[in-house]
Structure 1
Amino acid sequence: MKWLKTSTLSLVALLTTAGCASNANENAEWLYPPMAVPLQASVQQEVQIARLSQLLLRPDLSNEVRAKMYYERGSYYDSVGLRDLARLDYKQSLAINPLQPHLFNLLGMHFTQVGDFDAAYDAFGSTLELDPANSYAERNRAVALYYGDRLNLAMEDIQKHYDEDPSDPFRALWMYLIKLELDPEQAKQELLASYQDRTDEWGWVLVAITLGEMSEEQAFNVILQSTPDNTLLAQRLTEAYFYLGKRYQSQGDYASAVSLYKLAISFNVYEYVEHRYSFLELTRIYNQVREERIAKVKEAEKHASAN
């Protein structure tokens, strides 16, 4: 990866440091990646949280209004990265009014991020039971099933989701990522076919770098030239670094993947799934590397005892 070159930087160092390559290896060569100023909570967000907190203290609110306020405050908490507080408000809103499919969908994403997959499946199922046409919940459940290693069920959901709109690059990307675990060659061929019929939508740039049809330099030039403000730049870089991370991870380049997921997290685009799932991917890599190291130690001990 051209933006993060190191001579002998180990994955263990990447997993146990805050990302400072110079501390891990003084001879490391760094070429700075494209960056944006991390997003910060706005005055409006902070004021709305304070205002809603005061209003919720009133005893004369109707159940309908109270449920709506809990949802709104939870949304503001979510937008500034206060996940636990957001989840608490969503649950309180649902306790008052359980007929809110969009709230079950949000809770499902929260459960997926923390690895509570059974709760995520239930939440997305509730969304689709209340709102069968909710395509976001359909895709989110497929993603949760993918991270929960229930790949055949994930394929059923993502195939249906993809067939509803094959022109959507994000549907094509997640179709590819899930099928990659089952049939890598077919997954690549299908994504390439989708890419050849692409529109001008921004997400096809992400497909291009996933397939290697566009160099990373070209992709980041497109991003930098087409983003008039810092917020949009942060959002697009979050997406680009996440899907690049998935590409390097699938190639077994865990060190580059870890660096890219950390970059995806760094812009504080809390509401994007790419930000949420970067944490999950880091945990998966850590667990996989740990298991591989334990297996090597056991194999070495077995070999030593045999001799």
Structure 2
Amino acid sequence: MKLFQIASLCCSLLLLGGCVSNQTSSNEQWLNPPMAKPERANVQYEIQIARLSQLLSRSDLDDDLRAKMYFERGSYYDYLGLRNLAQLDFNYSLQLNPAQPAVFNSLGLFYTQIGDFDSAYEAFESTLELDPKVTAAIRNRAIALYYGNRIPLALEGMQTFYQQDPSDPYRVLWLYIIEQQQSPEKAFNNLQLRYQARNVNNDDWAWVLVALMLNDIPEEHAFQYAINTIPDSSNTVLAERLTEIYFYLAKRQQIAGDYIGAFSLYKLSLAQGVYDFIENRYAHIETNRIINAVQAMNESQVEQ
């Protein structure tokens, strides 16, 4: 019976790889999941890439300027989701000028996404050695440690990052995500306390994500809030908010053990095409982890 269940889960994930499930974990039908309108790649980014490529072909550039141009072009590649091209340019930039904390931080994110965690740790360490003020590297290193299954170190790093600004809901979310790896009940209680202690006059959109993680508001309310409070009906902002909603809903379902529901929600997060958000980067990791975990379970059962 267990073998049949695991095989069924594998089949479900394979089907979800080609299309998005229309079910949430509560078995409510999402006939039309909220989505932003598909947007073509940012034309300005493409123009900047072409301009920089032309400039880089010149032979009269000094190393420092060429290094900056490689980093700038790599950043545009990264915004467009062209991660491998971005990584090549980041490496070229560091070869010319190794004292660039922002470049190391960007490389660390790339290494995290492809699962090269040791290189990611080194990159974030280099960022902080060169400029301790780049506090985002503390968060990024903690998340890399989390995905690298080094939970105590990840928790220590995320606690440091959280203490720097306890009013930041994203810090609250990621501290919970890592804390629950050690003590789910305690982590959930801590999340509730931090949410209750927030400044109620703080209209930061991300507190809605915390409420969703707590299952404190219905999902449809979060979507309505995301849509109704967008300035100038911006499709770009809608895509960004939906990327976040689907990612943290997926994480909530994954924590609850609903891997099929989580997988479909991660796919919805990716479908918004917001490549420069960390939720997009980590949704790639999460879908691969779910597939690999289910395949490993299936292989184990077949051997038995």
TM-score when normalising by structure 2: 0.90
Count matched residues.
286
SS at match of 1:268: coil
The answer to whether residue 213 in structure 2 is matched with residue 214 in structure 1 is: no
Which digits, 9 at most, give the CA deviation of each residue in 1:269-299, with x for residues without a partner? 0000100110100011011111222222233
- Stretch moving more, 190-199 or 231-240: 190-199
Measure, in 1, the Cα distance between the counterparts of 2:209 and 2:14.
Answer: 26
Q: Which amino acid aligns with 2:18?
A: A
Give the percent of matched residue pairs that are identical in Structure 1 and Structure 2.
53
Corresponding residue for residue 173 of structure 2: 173
User: C-alpha displacement at 1:11, in angstroms?
Assistant: 4.9
The answer to whether residue 227 in structure 2 is matched with residue 224 in structure 1 is: yes
User: C-alpha displacement at 1:213, in angstroms?
Assistant: 0.9
Unaligned runs of 5+ in 2: 1-7, 23-27
Corresponding residue for residue 66 of structure 1: 66
User: C-alpha displacement at 1:20, in angstroms?
Assistant: 5.6
Corresponding residue for residue 82 of structure 2: 82
Measure, in 1, the Cα distance between the counterparts of 2:298 and 2:57.
Answer: 53
- Give the alignment of 1:1-307 within 5 angstroms: 10-16=9-15, 17-19=17-19, 30-198=30-198, 199-227=202-230, 228-299=233-304
Q: Do 1:37 and 1:230's aligned partners in 2 also have CA atoms closer than 8 Å? A: yes
Measure, in 2, the Cα distance between the counterparts of 1:291 and 1:256.
Answer: 19
Measure, in 2, the Cα distance between the counterparts of 1:187 and 1:31.
Answer: 33
SS at match of 2:287: helix
Measure, in 2, the Cα distance between the counterparts of 1:66 and 1:111.
Answer: 23
Unaligned runs of 5+ in 1: 1-8, 23-27, 300-307
User: C-alpha displacement at 1:12, in angstroms?
Assistant: 2.1
Q: Which amino acid aligns with 2:203?
A: D
Structure possessing the higher relative contact order (Cα contacts under 8 Å, 6 or more residues apart): 2
Which digits, 9 at most, give the CA deviation of each residue in 1:217-253, with x for residues without a partner? 1111100111221000000000110010000011111
Measure, in 2, the Cα distance between the counterparts of 1:179 and 1:205.
Answer: 20
Q: Do 2:10 and 2:295's aligned partners in 1 also have CA atoms closer than 8 Å? A: no
SS at match of 1:123: helix
User: C-alpha displacement at 1:29, in angstroms?
Assistant: 5.6
Which digits, 9 at most, give the CA deviation of each residue in 1:162-212, with x for residues without a partner? 111110001110100001100111111111111112232111110000001
Q: Which amino acid aligns with 2:225?
A: V
Q: Which amino acid aligns with 2:49?
A: I
- Stretch moving more, 43-52 or 142-151: 43-52
User: C-alpha displacement at 1:19, in angstroms?
Assistant: 1.0
Q: Which amino acid aligns with 2:13?
A: L
Measure, in 2, the Cα distance between the counterparts of 1:263 and 1:189.
Answer: 28
Alpha-carbon spacing, 1:233–1:29, altered in 2? closer, same or farther (3 Å): closer
Q: Do 2:13 and 2:291's aligned partners in 1 also have CA atoms closer than 8 Å? A: no
SS at match of 1:262: helix
Measure, in 2, the Cα distance between the counterparts of 1:29 and 1:11.
Answer: 21
TM-score when normalising by structure 1: 0.90
Which digits, 9 at most, give the CA deviation of each residue in 1:57-96, with x for residues without a partner? 0000111111111011111111111111111101111111
Corresponding residue for residue 5 of structure 1: none
Measure, in 2, the Cα distance between the counterparts of 1:100 and 1:296.
Answer: 49
SS at match of 2:18: coil
Root mean square deviation of aligned Cα: 1.6
Alpha-carbon spacing, 1:42–1:165, altered in 2? closer, same or farther (3 Å): same
Measure, in 1, the Cα distance between the counterparts of 2:222 and 2:115.
Answer: 31
